[in-house]
Amino acid sequence: MADKLTFALVSPERELFNGEVDHVVVPGAEGEFGVSPNHAPVMSVVKPGALKVINDGTERRIFVNGGFADVTPEGLTVLAEEAVDLADIEPGKLEQDLKNAQEDLRDANTDAKKDAATRQLARLETIKAAMAR
């Protein structure tokens, strides 16, 4: 059997993944980077985007919104501020959420509301872009 990478993806709500995989592509702060078995140790900030888990010829895409990736001799652990399996996102609901976020930004009447609406809109646009790839 070929070497496998031990991979864990954890968000504040729950552990989304823990198992053996062939390869993971992480959206790092300095660009995407791939992690395979026996990768050199590294730590990176995770930027919002699609994390790709490749195993036995299939690819699972998970939206991550910030966090840290830690590669050790034992494997890869990603501690994500938020993580959502893109397969669980319904495109129609995403489009409606985008429209609502745009309206919230237009209607924002304080700096705090504008900042919150801007962050939510950017998050949803990143999810949409990740789904298109």
Q: What is the pLDDT of residues 28-38, one digit of tens each?
A: 999 999 999 99
pLDDT of 2: 59
The domain spans of the chain are 5-86, 89-132
Burial of 94 (0-12, 13-18, 19+ CB in 10 A): middle
C-alpha span between 124 and 57 (Å, rounded): 29
Give residue 1's pLDDT. 44
The topology under which CATH files domain 5-86 is ATP Synthase; domain 1 (2.60.15)
The ranges of the chain with pLDDT < 50 are: 1
Of 1, 21, 10, the C-alpha closest to 75 is 21
- What's the pLDDT score for residue 132? 80
Neighbour-count burial for 66-93, b at 16+ CB within 10 Å, e otherwise: bbebebeeebbbbbbeebbebeebeeee
